[in-house]
Amino acid sequence: MMNMLETTPFGATSTTDDVLSGVNLKGKRILVTGVSAGLGVETARSLVARGAQVVGAARDLNKATAATAQVRTDAAGNGGSFEVIELDLANLKSVRACADALLAKGQPFDVVIANAGVMATPFGHTADGFETQFGTNHLGHFVLINRIASLIRNGGRLINLSSAGHRYSNVDVDDPNFERTPYEPFVAYGRSKTANILFAVAFDKRHRDRGVRAAAVHPGGIRTELGRYAEPGRIEKVIEEINRQLAGQGQGPFQWKSVPQGAATSVWAAVVAPASEIGGQYCENCHVGHIVPDDAPISVVTEGVRGYALDPKNAEALWKKSEELVGESF
C-alpha cells in the first residue's frame, strides 16, 4: 500500500485515475460487492487497470457480466484479473453460501470494499424478515464480512460504503424493522448508512491488532441506479432544499459527481491513504471527515459526520443487536 498523500492532494473532483496514478496493485486481491452498476463497476475497473485481482459480487450475474465488459478488458490489458460471484445481500442463505464458497477457495484478500446497497426503497422486508434497507445495506454485509474476516490478510482493509445520508438518522436498536416507528424511506436509508459507519468502527476495533483497519466512505452525490426506488421528484426536492441552504451560505448550487469521481474516495481509502489515518474513520472527498453536531442541517452537501455514527458505545450496541438478529456471534 502506498502513501502518496504528501505529493498528491486529492479532493471532491479527483477521479479514480487521479487517485491511483502511479499505483501498482499487481498481486493484490480485492473483493468488491455490487459490481452490476455504477460505483462498483468503476471501482473494480480502476483497480484491475492497476493489475489487481478483483472478485466482484453481484445478485444478478447476467447483469454484472454485461456491466463489467470494460472491467475485463482493462484487466486483460494490465495484468489484472476479474471474476464474478453470486451474492444477494437481502437473503442470508445467499450471503452464507457466498462466504462458504470464498472460504472453501481459501484465497486471502488485501481489501474488501462493501459497495453494494439500496436507497430509499418502499417499505418491505428481506428474505429473512428484516427491513429492506437495514437488512441489505448492513446485515447482509455484517454476516458476509464477519464470516470471511479470516481471509482478510494481516495489514488488510475493510471499506464500507456509507453516505452523507447517515445524517437523516441514528440507528434504532430497539426497533430496527420499523415495527413501532412510521416508515420513512430516507430515515431508513439514514439508519442503514449510520450502521455501515458503526460496523466499520467496531470491526476496526476487533481487528486492528493484526493490522487490519476498517473505514467508511461517502462517495458524494452521483446519479447512479441507487436512486431508482425513490418516489418520482423526491431527489429533485432534496436537491432544491440543498440549493436553498447553499444559497443562504452564499455558495453556488450543488454539483453532481461523475462516477469516477464518486468511486475515488473508495479506492483512496482502500489502497492509497495511510491505514493509521483512516482506521475507524468516515472519509469523504478523499480525506477523513470531521465530526459535525447532531443538530447541524441534514444538507447532504456540507461535509462532516455525525458523532453518533462514530460513537464506540453505539457501535458495540449495534454489533450485539446485529448478532441477535442474524443468530450468529462473531
Q: What value does the mean pLDDT take over residues 109-134?
A: 97
In the residue annotation, 189 being an active-site residue is answered as yes
Can you state the angle between helices 38-48 and 69-78, rounded to 10 degrees? 10
Sign of the alpha-carbon torsion through 68, 72, 78, 83? positive
Q: What is the pLDDT of residue 6?
A: 44
Domain spanning 16-326, CATH class:
alpha beta
Q: In this structure, are residues 85 and 57 in contact, taking their beta carbons and an 8 Å threshold? A: yes
For the question of residue 105 being annotated catalytic, the response is: no
pLDDT at 7 over 50: no
Q: Reply yes or no on whether 162 is catalytic.
A: yes
- Judged by average pLDDT, the poorest of 64-78, 129-143, 209-223 is 209-223
pLDDT digits (tens, 9 = 90+) for 241-294: 777 877 887 877 777 789 999 999 999 999 999 999 999 999 999 999 999 988
Which one-letter amino acid corresponds to residue 183? Y
Amino acid type, 304: G
- Does the structure show a pLDDT above 70 at 118? yes
Residues 36/63, Cβ–Cβ less than 8 Å? yes
Beta carbons within 8 Å of 254's beta carbon, 6+ residues apart: 221, 239, 242, 243, 246, 301
- The closest alpha carbon to 304, from 186, 218, 178, belongs to 218
Query: Cα–Cα distances in Å, from 282 out to 8, 73, 218, 220, 329?
Result: 20, 32, 7, 13, 25
Helices (H), the chain: 16-19, 38-48, 61-67, 69-78, 92-105, 132-133, 141-147, 185-207, 234-248, 259-262, 264-267, 275-278, 312-326
Catalytic position from the list 14, 36, 163, 189: 189
DSSP string for 256-291 = PBPHHHHTHHHHIIIIIS-HHHHTT-EEETTEEPPE
Reading the block at residue 154, the C-alpha cell is 494481516
Model confidence pLDDT, tens digit, residues 86-108: 999 999 999 999 999 999 999 99
Q: Which of 99-113, 224-238, 311-325 is the least confident region?
A: 224-238
User: Choosing from 162, 163, 169, 322, which is the catalytic residue?
Assistant: 162
- At residue 300, the pLDDT reads 52
Among the listed residues 14, 168, 193, 299, the single catalytic one is 193
What size, in residues, is the chain?
330
**What average pLDDT does this structure show over 212-219?**
97
pLDDT at 2: 47
